[in-house]
Amino acid sequence: MATPTKAASQPAYALTLDLTGRRVVVVGGGPVAARRARGLLDAGAAVEVVAPWLCEDLADLVGAGALTWHERDYVAGDLLQPEPAWLAHTATGDRATDDQVAREAQAARIWCVRADDAGASSAWTPAVARGRSGSPAEGLSVAVTAGGDPRRAVAVRDAVAAALDSGSLPVRRTRGAEPGRSVGRVALVGGGPGAEDLITVRGRALLAAADVVVADRLGPTGLLDRLGEDVEVVHVGKTPGHHPVPQERINELLVHHARLGRQVVRLKGGDPFVLGRGGEEALHCAAHGVPVEVVPGVTSAVSVPAAAGIPVTHRGVTASFVVASAHDGAGPAVQALRDAPADATLVLLMGVSRLAETAEALVAAGRRADTPVALVESGWTERQRTTVTTLERAAADADAAGVRAPAVVVVGDVVALRASLGDLAG
């Protein structure tokens, strides 16, 4: 019977094979045969190689006892003895031998992949992108064929693999918890200062795989609109003086959903461990037996000043900076500066509502009244605005400009660099 050929434009029937423990014959001993053999071994196949010689990679596999080597040329019957093969790969580089293997495979109803001529094959090996072990895309495999153009298939495969890793593809499981796992996981994800593309690759991937997202009002909240309709989003964002969901309840929500076997993302602005109460949430999860991981984010303490053209350190100006919360008044800021160099930049988070008190306390503690101050509102968003002033005028100028939270307050001589740099946010 003649072996049919296949046109490149003709649709193929895609199929995934379970080759665990099943006999597969690879004919040929070169690098192509080695690549095929290694992939088959990864799939659990019982691989036999027929070739008079082996390349180094195949010789290593033989030496490790991973496969069986028949040290000779292919002969009729190799696909059938000692038992019929489930699959054959031929990659000898010799047309006559590859033709013979293909003919005998066709006669025995054994699928045969030819390395030399895809059109004469009865089966094809696609380029495969697989989700990395331990990543949100784990367990996903995407096979790419390109009508006999392997380089095209590999290029698309690599792009798909990158998309799996980045979370730009919908990698979330939809059939319950992972096998063997009755409790879900909590990921404390730092979303960065606000721009959607400033979240880390790991954070974006976990967000794409989440069943439940417990979200603050800051950070890349626009990404929530791209989640599936069946992903539960719980908004727990706080505003100054208004905490609709207490921290204790947020902790309970994380544990509750994880115990139902769900993958939970706690999406925060900035970094979870920089004035974000991520430590409290991690401790609560750990105390209740819930696996938790922390994904760092780009903290607003350095990124928002940068967006306004203000480096928090600069050679010849200062080599250090201090970050403090001003939510509860000037005390933490004054204490943080007590042991800091006199020229250290001070970055205040949550400092707008008590700015007058904080500025007065800093002057009383020894900072010059004319120390430059920048008030950067809504950094890395289209609403970003910067007001430059001094410690002695900070409160009055903030009132006159109508400065509102969220804003980062920068105190120090580095603020003067903004005059030359201007806004640097993309």
- Kindly indicate the confidence band of residue 192, based on its pLDDT and cuts at 50, 70 and 90: very high
* 109: number of Cβ within 10 Å: 8
Say how far apart CA 124 and CA 157 lie, in whole Å: 15
Which value, to the nearest 10 degrees, does the dihedral of the CA atoms of residues 34, 37, 38, 44 take?
-170
Say how far apart CA 306 and CA 69 lie, in whole Å: 62
State the SS3 of 163-229. HHHHCCCCCCCCCCCCCCCCCCEEEEEECECCCHHHCCHHHHHHHHHCCEEEECCCCCHHHHHHCCC
8-state DSSP, 3 = P
Of the given ranges (82-96, 157-171, 358-372, 399-413), which has the lowest mean pLDDT?
157-171
Instruction: Find all residues with CB under 8 Å of 79, minimum gap 6, and list them.
Output: 25, 85, 88, 101, 104, 105, 108, 110
Of the given ranges (21-35, 131-145, 298-312), which has the lowest mean pLDDT?
131-145
Pairing of strands 345-349, 292-295: unpaired
- Kindly indicate the confidence band of residue 369, based on its pLDDT and cuts at 50, 70 and 90: very high
Name the token pair of 181: 């796992």
- CA 57 to chain centroid, in Å, comes to 32
**Does 349 score more than 50 pLDDT?**
yes
For domain 185-298, the CATH architecture is 3-Layer(aba) Sandwich (3.40)
Name the token pair of 239: 């505003």
Query: What does the pLDDT read at residue 10?
Result: 59
**Does 330 score more than 80 pLDDT?**
yes
Listed by start position, the domains of the chain span: 23-125, 185-298, 301-421
Query: What does the pLDDT read at residue 1?
Result: 42
Instruction: Name the residue with higher pLDDT: 10 or 190.
Output: 190
**Does 177 score more than 80 pLDDT?**
no
6 catalytic? Reply is no
Provide the greatest CA pair distance for the chain: 98
Q: What percent of the chain has pLDDT over 90?
A: 69
Give the active site residue among 6, 57, 238, 397.
238
Of the given ranges (150-154, 197-201, 246-250), which has the lowest mean pLDDT?
150-154
Name the token pair of 291: 């696996």
Query: What does the pLDDT read at residue 242?
Result: 56
Domain 301-421, CATH homologous superfamily name and number? Tetrapyrrole methylase, C-terminal domain (3.30.950.10)
Strand partners, 143: 128
**Does 2 score more than 50 pLDDT?**
no
Name the token pair of 46: 């019982």
238 catalytic? Reply is yes
End-to-end alpha carbon distance in the chain: 65
Topology of the domain comprising 23-125:
Rossmann fold (3.40.50)
CA pseudo-torsion sign 6, 7, 11, 15: positive
Query: What does the pLDDT read at residue 238?
Result: 66
Give the active site residue among 98, 165, 211, 216.
216
Query: What does the pLDDT read at residue 136?
Result: 83
Strand partners, 192: 270
Give the strand order in the sheet containing 23-27. Answer: 68-71, 46-51, 23-27, 87-90, 111-114
